[in-house]
């Protein structure tokens, strides 16, 4: 357990904290250090954040937006947002193919709405004739409900991404399928790609999905080169037991703030450019987009989820959560070690599109190529297996770069139209 927990720090940093670094430069300035200045686009930022995502970021752009909820079979109440038509209306909502967007760890559905409407993937899809649905994983701001637990209960946080595979994803996909009567396209970023790959490897949801688009795909993490992640491994092994006391992992909390403060005081660590140190050198972020990100993100997750990612990074494997106790593993899995997710069991003819960046140090190109090598030999006729490599893109570019539409999303649209 100690070895696994030492990598928890990586994911606390993954989505750019909103706390001070303990130095003269605060986080917003640190992240913006390399982001070019730009005139803010026309988006009303509200001081009160009690409204849902539709109210905050969609309807004020002139789009129709609906708030939905779905309850998982283990009792979590998740929010979804629907953009049924584009800005110009067009085809009636019932005739449009649904697309489900799934965010990464420590983020929520706002991931897809951070850029101007002509550049944000959610709006681009709606304007191109798709019925857009935005998912929000358990524990994030608008998905903190439960039928019997509150977020103050430790049991509320007793989950990792295994539960997102087994409960959240089936609930959201099933809900969209039932509401629309149509099979849907799936698009995920980071953790959103991981849960899709794991689900597909188990043969789940195949009757409800048309395709999967995976941006910054995560399956293997053993080659990850994020500098601050490796510093965290060396620095925080002795604090593992301390972290076990905290079931909710909140990037805005004082405990994570203190942890980041300690890391930033390690000789050789430059917290003046956190974005690059964490995600790799993003090429194309505007300061206005980063400011919008910092207004709404990052989001909480469970400490157990972070431990699970840590296990992946230390071991280079893709397996279910390891309780580091043979008895507990037997109790949960019927075997002394956790079962692995086998990528080769993903049906050969299921359409997949992968896009990954050359400077991404989280979804490192070496790890992605391990995944692609495992999947080699798949049926690539009629665009069923497509890959894209963007040499100068890092992790955040895929959802925040000002040229993401031209560099990535236009090819995503081409892929979707084939299926």
Average pLDDT over residues 21-34: 40
Q: How far is CA 418 from each of CA 155, 166, 352, 353, rounded to the nearest angstrom?
A: 44, 29, 11, 11
pLDDT bracket for residue 18 (50, 70, 90): very low
End-to-end Cα distance, the chain: 43
* Range name among 37-46, 110-119, 206-215, 287-296 with the lowest pLDDT average: 37-46
Give residue 285's pLDDT: 78
Most confident of the ranges 1-5, 49-53, 160-164: 160-164
* Range name among 49-53, 172-176, 227-231 with the lowest pLDDT average: 227-231
pLDDT bracket for residue 226 (50, 70, 90): confident
pLDDT tens digits for 44-94?
A: 333 345 679 999 999 999 999 999 999 999 999 999 999 999 987 655 555
What percent of the chain has pLDDT above 70?
77
The structure tokens listed for 260 are 């980041």
Q: How far apart are alpha carbons 120 and 123 in whole angstroms?
A: 6
pLDDT tens digits for 210-221?
A: 999 999 999 998
Check whether 252 has a pLDDT greater than 50.
yes
Check whether 247 has a pLDDT greater than 90.
no
Give residue 240's pLDDT: 52
Check whether 133 has a pLDDT greater than 90.
yes
Environment class of 161 (CB within 10 Å of its CB; exposed 0-12, middle 13-18, buried 19+):
buried
Check whether 15 has a pLDDT greater than 50.
no
Check whether 307 has a pLDDT greater than 60.
yes
pLDDT bracket for residue 275 (50, 70, 90): low
Residues involved in catalysis = 190, 360, 395
The reported pTM is 0.87
Average pLDDT over residues 407-414: 97
pLDDT bracket for residue 4 (50, 70, 90): very low
The structure tokens listed for 419 are 């299926």
Going by C-alpha positions, the residue among 257, 277, 280, 279 that lies closest to residue 268 is 277
Angle between helix axes 191-201 and 169-180 (nearest 10 degrees) is 80
Going by C-alpha positions, the residue among 290, 255, 368 that lies closest to residue 32 is 290
pLDDT tens digits for 183-200?
A: 999 999 999 999 999 999
Give residue 40's pLDDT: 32
pLDDT bracket for residue 229 (50, 70, 90): low
Give residue 13's pLDDT: 39
Give residue 90's pLDDT: 55
Q: What's the mean per-residue pLDDT of the chain? A: 83
């Amino acid at each position: 357990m100690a070895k696994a927990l030492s990598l928890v720090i990586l994911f606390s940093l993954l989505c750019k904290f909103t706390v001070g670094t303990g130095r003269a430069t605060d986080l917003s300035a640190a992240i913006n250090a390399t982001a070019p200045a730009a005139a803010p686009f026309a988006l009303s930022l509200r001081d009160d954040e009690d409204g849902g995502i539709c109210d905050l970021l969609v309807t004020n752009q002139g789009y129709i937006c609906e708030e939905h909820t779905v309850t998982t079979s283990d009792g979590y109440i998740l929010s979804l947002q629907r953009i049924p038509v584009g800005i110009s209306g067009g085809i009636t909502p019932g005739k449009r193919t649904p697309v489900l967007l799934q965010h990464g760890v420590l983020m929520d559905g706002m991931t897809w709405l951070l850029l101007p409407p002509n550049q944000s993937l959610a709006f681009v899809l709606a304007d191109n004739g798709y019925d857009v649905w935005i998912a929000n994983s358990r524990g994030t701001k608008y998905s903190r409900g439960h039928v019997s637990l509150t977020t103050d209960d430790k049991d509320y946080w007793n989950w990792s991404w295994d539960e997102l595979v087994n409960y959240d994803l089936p609930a959201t996909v099933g809900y969209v399928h039932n509401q629309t009567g149509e099979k849907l396209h799936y698009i995920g970023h980071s953790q959103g790609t991981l849960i899709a790959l794991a689900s597909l490897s188990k043969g789940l949801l195949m009757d409800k999905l048309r395709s999967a688009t995976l941006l910054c795909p995560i399956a293997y993490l053993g080659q990850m080169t994020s500098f601050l992640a490796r510093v965290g491994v060396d620095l925080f092994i002795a604090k593992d037991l301390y972290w076990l006391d905290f079931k909710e992992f909140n990037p805005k909390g004082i405990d994570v703030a203190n942890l980041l403060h300690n890391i930033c005081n390690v000789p050789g660590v430059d917290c003046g450019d956190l974005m690059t140190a964490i995600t790799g050198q993003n090429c194309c972020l505007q300061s206005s987009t980063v400011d919008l990100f910092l207004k709404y993100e990052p989001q909480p997750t469970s400490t157990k989820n972070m431990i699970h990612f840590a296990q992946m990074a230390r071991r280079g494997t893709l397996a279910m959560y390891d309780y580091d106790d043979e008895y507990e593993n037997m109790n949960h899995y019927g075997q002394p070690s956790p079962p692995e997710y086998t990528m080769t069991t993903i049906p050969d003819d299921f359409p997949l599109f992968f896009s990954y960046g050359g400077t991404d140090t989280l979804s490192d190109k070496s790890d992605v190529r391990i995944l692609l090598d495992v999947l080699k030999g798949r049926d690539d006729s009629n665009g069923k297996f497509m890959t894209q490599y963007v040499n100068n893109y890092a992790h955040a570019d895929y959802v925040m770069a000002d040229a993401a539409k031209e560099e990535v999303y236009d090819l995503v649209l081409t892929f979707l139209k084939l299926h």
